[in-house]
Homo-oligomer: A and B are copies of this chain.
Amino acid sequence: MRTWWKRTDEARSGEGVDWREAEEFVRLHHAEVPSAGPVEARLREVAAEIEQTGTYTHTLDELTFGARVAWRNSGRCIGRLYWQSLRVRDRREVDTADAIADECVAHLREATNGGRIRPTITVFAPDRPGQRAARIRNDQLVRYAGYERDGEIVGDPSHLGLTREAAALGWEGRGGRFDVLPLLIEVKDHVEMRELPADAILEVPISHPHYPWFGELGLRWHAVPAISNMCLEIGGVCYPAAPFNGWYMGTEIGARNLADTGRYDQLPVIARRLGMDTSSDRTLWRDHTLVELNVAVLHSFAEAGVTMTDHHTEAKRFMTHLEKEERSGRVCPADWSWIVPPLSGALTPVFHRYYDDVALRPSFTHHRGL
């Protein structure tokens, strides 16, 4: 099943670090990275620091390893083959709205990399006992506004709430279909708003390799999917602001964001232009149109020189990942309903097998009331 609230936990800021989680992580790190040195010495350090302060500070090595393993443990992510290549930007000293916004912009620029997208995470300050760190309210760094006017929705319907919040803070959207929302950053007990500079956001206009009219639909999407509202949990420490990105798999845009009736709902519009017979579901006009939209998305990203994967390629890569994990003697947690692509599920090898859906740590977690 596909809504995120199943696996949520209550946020745990305020409490001290659970020693068992810290120990489990430190032992994992030293087991997988022998060059980290003797584990007992590090465990004594960590224990002493927790004793004194209720928490402890990860070394840069631990942070990097923890973030990468959190990705490796993300049971919903089909893109995990390259988990070891995650670039980790350590910004734990950063905790003001201005500095956080600046670093998000820097993250976007470095991750975008002129189109050759680099999987990247920026880790801001962790929660500490009695001290709630900053959070980003946007679910991704780049999100399009949604406006309701006279019962009609313009833009992305799934961001009506975020748009309303921004408006309440004084944001004036232009009322367009693809207006990038400002960042809403929670610091202490209030929310601050920061606009993202347009030149930090690469976008791709959607066209079709065979239908010249497709471009006239005015569809576009941003190049970098950077999830910004999940908590990175490493060894009992919560990093509530830790935006991370990979590159897009085409179906995320073509079979969900632009297609879902609760999102941009473009299939009826495209079907009309394609001249499809929409008189009955049985003509499969939706299925046919969906394929054309996905062809357009993949084509447009390629034309723009922006990294994007298709679901066939990515499913094969994931099978390779599973084999590698198995050879390493590790369980690979995976959630069938998220791993199987929303388009032509049974055509991909990931459809035809069973997975362990265990929760391993470190992890990315949706906290209720984050």
Interface string of A247-260 (1 = CB under 8 A from B): 00000000110011
User: Which residues does chain B contribute within 8 Å of A345, judged by CB atoms?
Assistant: 340-343, 345
How far, in whole Å, are A140 and B345 apart by their CA atoms in the complex? 24
| Total copies of this chain within the assembly | 2
Interface string of A336-370 (1 = CB under 8 A from B): 11001111111100011111000000000000000
Interface SS of chain A: helix
How far, in whole Å, are A15 and B213 apart by their CA atoms in the complex? 69
Size bracket, chain A contacts: 35 or more
How far, in whole Å, are A274 and B171 apart by their CA atoms in the complex? 51
- Would you call A282 an interface residue if the criterion is a C-beta within 8 Å of the partner chain's C-beta atoms? yes
- Would you call A27 an interface residue if the criterion is a C-beta within 8 Å of the partner chain's C-beta atoms? no
Q: Which of A90-98, A194-202, A225-233, A284-292 interfaces with chain B?
A: A284-292
Closest residue on chain B to residue A314 by CB atoms = B281
Closest residue on chain B to residue A315 by CB atoms = B281
Out of B342, B353, B355, name the residue touching A346 (CB < 8 Å): B342
Out of B3, B260, B302, B347, name the residue touching A286 (CB < 8 Å): B347
- Would you call A294 an interface residue if the criterion is a C-beta within 8 Å of the partner chain's C-beta atoms? yes
Question: Chain B's nearest CB lies how many Å from the CB of A311?
Answer: 8
How far, in whole Å, are A205 and B306 apart by their CA atoms in the complex? 45
Q: Is B282's CB under 8 angstroms from A2's CB? A: no
Q: Is A354's CB under 8 angstroms from B294's CB? A: no
Closest residue on chain B to residue A297 by CB atoms = B284
- Would you call A35 an interface residue if the criterion is a C-beta within 8 Å of the partner chain's C-beta atoms? no
How far, in whole Å, are A22 and B256 apart by their CA atoms in the complex? 47
Q: Is B337's CB under 8 angstroms from A312's CB? A: no
Residues facing B in A266-306 (CB within 8 A) are 267, 281-284, 286-288, 290-291, 294-295, 298, 302
Sample (22) of A-B pairs whose CB atoms are under 8 Å apart: A1-B336, A1-B353, A1-B354, A1-B355, A2-B351, A2-B352, A255-B344, A262-B352, A281-B312, A282-B298, A284-B294, A284-B298, A284-B310, A287-B291, A287-B294, A291-B291, A336-B336, A341-B345, A342-B346, A342-B351, A343-B346, A345-B345
